[in-house]
């Protein structure tokens, strides 16, 4: 899964497939994942999911290192072998059998590459233009259409059971693993053990490891076949073990849940998850819109919801003929590239997609793919000034300047999140500038001037 920081700004490092949800954990897919599926890159990035749910993949596990930096780890006093012995004792106390542990623990090895991927985030970022052009490629659309037709009977049955449209499930499949072509090349057990052995987020990954062992014990998969991302996301839809335990279902009736090799199991599990976290049958994700001159961008706020009539009165109009209309109530406005970029009215299903992966761009990609799989229009990216994203170094400077000017951004970390957005919006408002909270060259220059630099 991909993880986005700020308005349309995505860290392009990547994790071999980290998928649905958990807030701020192992960051997920980047450029490579967009080209070949999330699991490919070595996900949510982010999410302590809503209502206590855990995202399918670790798009958000726990706070990871700031972009471009390697976070220091506390000293682990035990050798990995000693730690495994301790783990075995605890696993036995949690009901994992000695037989299961005898099968799983001998092959459990420390993976330095996992820690490297977990701790290092790149300097480069992506914009709505670069992200969607890669994620919603012609190849992904054409392949998805063929697969939608191929699995029509299965997907129609699952849609009838859970209310999640077939094109939406195929869109998630394409985003997560490029339609099952790349699950990630890591042993899930070894990856989780490595992250649990590390001291920074040990408790989270230790629990995921016990859940993974329980999956093995239940006979759903053997240890050697349990492959996935470096963060432990598994199968066609990149579920974390805890999400598997809570939401995975047997879609083919064979008594096992195999999200790696059984598409009925994978699709049904994804649909069960989405329906459980709020998917509303019969509603679209939203639609692209245009904004009247002088529109107040401060209305593009995650806390602001209005009816379609109210948005229309404020100057919001549909942009693309033939695009399904957004639901009529409880709509939010998304400006992933600021006031000058593409604009979208988004409904509750858009927010449900963001429970799976907390990136607004990921949600736009899923929605756009689903639309196009059934002949709907693509998101229009032309006609807007294509801005570059600030680098991590520039974002650090922007945060530092906001702090020096008295705005609360916390400790600068190069990650433009909600706190930084609120601070930038307040600065823009105080300066009489459009308060769209989008960090770009213009805003950085304005901050430098205000700080006398």
Q: What is the pLDDT of residues 115-161, one digit of tens each?
A: 999 988 667 678 999 999 999 999 999 999 999 999 999 999 999 99
Cα atoms in the Cβ-side hemisphere of radius 13 Å centred on 325? 10
239 in Cβ contact with 248 (< 8 Å): yes
Q: Identify the structural domains of the chain with CATH numbers, from first to last.
A: 80-122+184-262 (1.10.8.350), 392-451 (1.10.101)
Q: How far apart are CA 318 and CA 353, in angstroms?
A: 22
Q: How far apart are CA 446 and CA 453, in angstroms?
A: 10
pTM of the complete model = 0.87
133-147, 317-331, 380-394, 429-443: which range is least confident on average? 317-331
pLDDT tens per residue, range 390-438: 999 999 999 999 999 999 999 999 989 999 999 999 999 999 999 999 9
C-alpha pair distances (Å), 446 with each of 112, 378, 417: 43, 35, 20
Residue 383 has pLDDT above 90, yes or no: yes
Residue 274 CA to its chain's centroid (Å): 14
What is the rounded average pLDDT of the residues 351-365?
A: 96
Q: What is the Cβ-side half-sphere exposure of residue 124, based on CA atoms within 13 angstroms?
A: 8
Average pLDDT for residues 279-294, to the nearest whole number?
96
Band (pLDDT 50/70/90 cuts) for residue 164 is very high
Average pLDDT over residues 279-284: 95
Residue-averaged pLDDT of the chain = 86
What is the distance between the alpha carbons of residues 218 and 227, in angstroms, rounded to a whole number?
A: 17
List, in sequence order, every residue forming a beta bridge with 400; answer none if it has no partner: none
pLDDT range class, residue 329, cuts 50, 70, 90: confident
């Amino acid at each position: 899964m991909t993880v986005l920081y700020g308005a349309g700004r995505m860290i392009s490092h990547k994790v071999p497939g980290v998928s649905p949800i958990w807030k701020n954990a192992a960051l997920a897919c980047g450029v490579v994942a967009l080209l070949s599926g999330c699991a490919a890159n070595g996900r949510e990035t982010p999410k302590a999911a809503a209502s206590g749910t855990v995202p399918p993949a670790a798009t958000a596990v726990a706070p990871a290192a700031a972009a471009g930096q390697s976070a220091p780890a506390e000293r682990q006093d035990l050798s990995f072998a000693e730690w495994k012995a301790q783990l075995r004792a605890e696993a036995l106390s949690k009901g994992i059998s000695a037989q299961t542990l005898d099968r799983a623990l001998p092959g459990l090895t420390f993976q330095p590459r996992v820690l490297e991927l977990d701790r290092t985030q790149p300097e480069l970022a992506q914009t709505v233009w670069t992200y969607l052009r890669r994620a919603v490629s012609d190849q992904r659309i054409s392949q998805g259409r063929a697969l939608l037709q191929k699995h029509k009977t299965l997907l129609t049955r699952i849609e009838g059971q859970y209310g999640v449209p077939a094109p939406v499930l195929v869109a998630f499949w394409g985003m997560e693993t490029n339609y099952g072509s790349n699950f990630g090349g890591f042993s899930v057990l070894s990856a989780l053990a490595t992250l649990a052995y590390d001291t920074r987020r040990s408790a989270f990954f230790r629990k995921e490891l016990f859940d993974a062992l329980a999956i093995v014990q239940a006979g759903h998969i053997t240890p050697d076949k349990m492959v996935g991302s470096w963060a432990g996301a598994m199968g066609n839809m990149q579920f974390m073990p805890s999400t598997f335990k809570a939401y995975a279902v047997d879609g083919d009736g064979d008594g096992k849940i195999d999200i790696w090799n059984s598409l009925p199991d994978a699709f049904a599990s994804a649909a069960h998850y989405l329906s459980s976290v709020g998917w509303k049958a019969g509603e679209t994700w939203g639609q692209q819109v245009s904004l009247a001159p002088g529109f107040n961008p401060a209305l593009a706020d995650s806390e602001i919801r209005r009816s379609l009539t109210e948005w229309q009165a404020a100057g919001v109009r549909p942009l693309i003929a033939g695009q399904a209309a957004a639901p009529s109530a409880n709509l939010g406005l998304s400006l992933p590239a600021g006031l000058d970029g593409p604009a979208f009215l988004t409904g509750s299903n858009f927010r449900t997609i963001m429970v799976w992966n907390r990136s607004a761009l990921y949600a736009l990609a899923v929605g756009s793919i689903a639309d196009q799989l059934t002949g709907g229009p693509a998101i229009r990216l032309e006609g807007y000034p294509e801005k570059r994203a600030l680098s991590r170094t520039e974002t650090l400077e922007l945060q530092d300047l906001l702090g020096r000017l008295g705005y609360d951004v916390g400790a600068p970390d190069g990650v433009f999140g909600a706190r930084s957005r609120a601070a930038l919006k307040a600065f823009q408002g105080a300066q009489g500038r459009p308060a769209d909270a989008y960090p770009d060259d213009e805003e950085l220059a304005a901050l430098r001037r205000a700080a006398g630099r």
